[in-house]
Structure 1
Amino acid sequence: MTPVGILLAAGRGRRFDPTGAASKLLQPLPGGELVVAASARVLLSSVDKVIAVVRPDDGGVGDCLRALGCIVTVCPDADSGMAASLVHAIRHSLPDAPSWLIALGDMPHVRGSTMLALRAALEQGAPIAVPLHAGQRGNPVGFGRVHLDALLALQGDQGARAILKAQAVSVVAVDDPGIFSDIDTVADLLKTSTLA
């Protein structure tokens, strides 16, 4: 069964703009597409349903994602950390989700082929699927239904790292440096990228 896509887009991006006035997710990439739109587009092309999590004062991120076809849900306690957004999205996906492909709204350079490879690993029964490029793991990450209870118990700003450290994972080799490329600073945004 097809995994449910989750796009985490509820962070404040303080490294990009300490004042919080400018959302990194709504900045245009060199080709003109918005960061969060590029991130969502690849995920949307790889699964049947994408649940996108935004914070209450999202500055228009939710509207952008709805227009692309995401199911947008507002996490009222998004500021308490990434885990809150992830738990919120997983709860929103129940009871039907067989697994989850979890992507980040500030990673617009992940290739569609990577998403599809992770999807295939989940559909073939991998409890956790992680992409590997040049000997290093990256994002997005897939979780099977077997980890539902552990995912729902997450807290803080570490996301699902504790589960990744404690459980066996299926490593999916990909030719995709985009699995490491997130937009955290203005310098990241300004880089001319050939990753996508």
Structure 2
Amino acid sequence: MRTERIAAVLLAAGLSTRFGEEDKLMADLRGKPLAAHTLETVASMAFAELVAVARPIDQAPVLHRKLERRGYTILVNDRPEDGISGSIVRAVEHVMPLRKCRGILICLADMPDVPQSHYNRICLAAEDIRSVVASTDGFSSSPPAFIGRKHFPELLALRGDQGARALLSHGIQIETTGAVLHDIDTPEDLPGWQPATPY
């Protein structure tokens, strides 16, 4: 399916509790904030709609500014403690009335190394509104993933932090390396991370 018929949904509202006090999405990675890598790659493609789910602006002012600059519609998730499902539900409610969108491409802001070519492969594997296409490292299914409009009611019923994992496991699997699908959960996951030296 052509990207012009798909809404890209960037999930960027997590609490990042395992990362510690610092805002994970603003952590420096190769000279720019972690989230900037994903949001810029996705924004450089010709999607029908760019949607980002983020925390309230007072908690993530820099992220909001970067998203606005790249043309995202920002949906606020003021209950990030409800898990990833709450963000997916908000995004689907926004995309549902947009008839031109045949489905959504779910992208995670803490997956900075997914190249444009992988997002493209997922979109191309999606045939119609019934399609579900997930990424896999050969072991488990994960985003980035395409979910067709036919599955929107199922997505609206999601609860908790499992997201759409069950749905993704039954879809087409696009294999790539673990390095591409690597997500940042803790400071140690950042390339070149060094523990602070005690004085």
On whether the aligned pair clears a TM of 0.5, the verdict is: yes
Aligned partner of 2:122 among 118, 124, 128: 118
User: 3-12 or 133-142: which moved more?
Assistant: 133-142
Say yes or no: does 1:10 pair with 2:9: no
Q: Does the 8 Å contact 1:7/1:103 carry over to 2?
A: yes
- 1:104 corresponds to which letter in structure 2? L
SS of the residue 1:116 aligns to: helix
Q: Please provide the CA RMSD for this pair.
A: 2.0
SS of the residue 1:95 aligns to: coil
Task: Give the greater-gyration-radius structure (CA).
Answer: 2
Q: Does the 8 Å contact 2:15/2:80 carry over to 1?
A: no
The two structures have a TM-score, normalised by structure 1, of 0.85
In the other structure, the counterpart of 2:172 is 170
Say yes or no: does 1:35 pair with 2:41: no
Measure how far apart 1:28 and its partner are. Answer: 1.5
SS of the residue 1:131 aligns to: strand
For 2:64 and 2:104, the matched residues in 1 are separated by 20
Aligned residues: 184
Measure how far apart 1:187 and its partner are. Answer: 1.1
Measure how far apart 1:146 and its partner are. Answer: 1.3
SS of the residue 1:177 aligns to: coil
For 1:59 and 1:135, the matched residues in 2 are separated by 33
Equivalences for 1:45-84 in 2 at 5 Å? 45-48=44-47, 49-56=49-56, 57-60=58-61, 61-84=63-86
The two structures have a TM-score, normalised by structure 2, of 0.83
Q: Does the 8 Å contact 1:3/1:47 carry over to 2?
A: no
- 2:50 corresponds to which letter in structure 1? V
Measure how far apart 1:33 and its partner are. Answer: 2.0
Mark the runs of 5 or more structure 2 residues left unpaired by the alignment: 194-199
For 1:121 and 1:176, the matched residues in 2 are separated by 20
Q: Does the 8 Å contact 1:114/1:176 carry over to 2?
A: no
For 2:92 and 2:80, the matched residues in 1 are separated by 14
Structure 1 pair 33–129 and aligned structure 2 pair: CA distance change class (3 A): same
Q: Does the 8 Å contact 2:77/2:86 carry over to 1?
A: yes
